A and B are shown apart, each in its own frame.
Chain A
Amino acid sequence: MNYMDELEAKSIYIIREAYRTFKNKLAVLVSWGKDSITMLHLVKKAFFGNVPVPVVHIDTGYQMKEIYEFREKLTKEWNLNLIIAKNEEALKSGMGPDKGRLECCTALKTEALKQCIKQYGFRALLVAIRRDEHAIRAKERYFSRRTTDGEWLYHEQLPELWEHFQVKLDDTGMHLRVHPMLHWREIDIWRYIKRENIPVNPLYFAGARKEGYRYRSLGCEPCSAPIPSNAKTIDEIIKELETTNIAERAGRIQDKERSYMMQRLRALGYM
């Protein structure tokens, strides 16, 4: 399992570099999905069983209830310092996907995150995105700057070479997105979850809500669609992934709606 060890070692190195520079001004962004839980597990490994930095959950208010349940369980078990980022104002004034998905994601996710960063003064965030999730994410760097407004300057990215990363920030308003999982593929995540016995949300398995269906990617309740599947165990999921021709985020509505939606979202500070 040398290959898995290589993936793991690289991610841990990146996590440790980020911590070294930012200490508790670094936060871990989790959605409680398979990727962020894997990343959180790696953070625990990097710090010998502990998660020494705050864990931020962007709560859109439209999350699936199993996500909230899973969050409670893990926060207790792993002794996490949990911060919930929620755009209460937008929710009070009735924001929702019916207002347009670009608008909703921007208000309830991106804005909520921006407010949280400001409130706590975070300078860097560990985010579990991967290159194979979306072609726009494939353009990312391991350490990626965001402006004071949270914008991604994709046309001005700094070079990253080998094991050398740009960890310094100049402008006090900027923050850094750190992506330790960029080089992991969907199937790598599941194989690692199996190897390490990482707890995952039951929604990923068939029958959690409806027989014959499972969620391959977990977004908010109104914007995530399950896929037809009978995979009830991790082994069955891995087998399914080995043969599928369907993209992981096929059930994620905000990825499809408008052309270049993902690019627009990310340029505004999305994950």
Chain B
Amino acid sequence: MSLEQVAQLTVAGVINGSFYALVGAGFGLILGVTGRFHYAFALVFTLSAYVTSVLETPAGLPMPAAIVGGLLAAIVLGIAIERFVYRPLARASGAVSLLTIFISSLGLTIAGINLITLAWTAFSRSIELVPLRPINVGAISFASVEAVLVAASWLLILALSGLLNFSDLGRSIRAARGNPQLARILGLDPDSIYLSVFALGSFLCGAAGILDGARFAVQPSMGIRPVMFAFVVAFLGGTRNGPIVVGLAGLFVGLVESLSGLFVSPQWSSLVVFSVLFIYLVLHPVDFRALRASILPAASSPRG
């Protein structure tokens, strides 16, 4: 293995890792605060990319307007799912809500992705975020859009972290994440906090969708793999931790995936990632009871 090879793979790992960091931070925020297994994150991701792409080319809007349109679509869809699907379902299903929400989220994703295919066909589309050109630094090369992706991902993660730490809304969200029961006692309305969290998470998710669409292509199944990684990264980072920690976990996953290419052929790289996850789960002494209490407040509160 040559030094250039290592450097090139590291850069590729940072690019993928930044993307995982972004989806992980969005997914982790939702999971950590609301405890919902939001599989439809994949749908929000895909819709945002499609709306941006469609607004750009057939509709002829300027790029910034198309991006705003895509992000708005993501936020509206995320909020609507929470308000009209998850919230009533959580009330109706009580102790098994973790499972029922997961199933309904899965159903929404299947339905939504096929609706998107019906509306815009299965042919892949594109988003031209920046003029495509390769950037060469020494022997390392990467695409311009990849540089944008890395910068945008970390800017968004830092912005989210700042919002959570230095605004009233952020403080309420962190309170709800740390101790839902106490937050309720202090008079914070969980319903509105959940909606804000879905708005924020969907915003990050939509941004990730647009960036991914610009980097590769916009097509119906583009969200499935990212949601898997978001899931993994959010848990590795810890659902009670802030977006920066989750982001670093994403970076770690990206680097592991990429650098494993030094030792095994690329088709085994996802095997390496999931094996690392497996080993982590076997070895890591997580405080599961605290986590459980945060995720399943209804099931773990003492009855009286």
Q: Do A and B come from one complex?
A: no
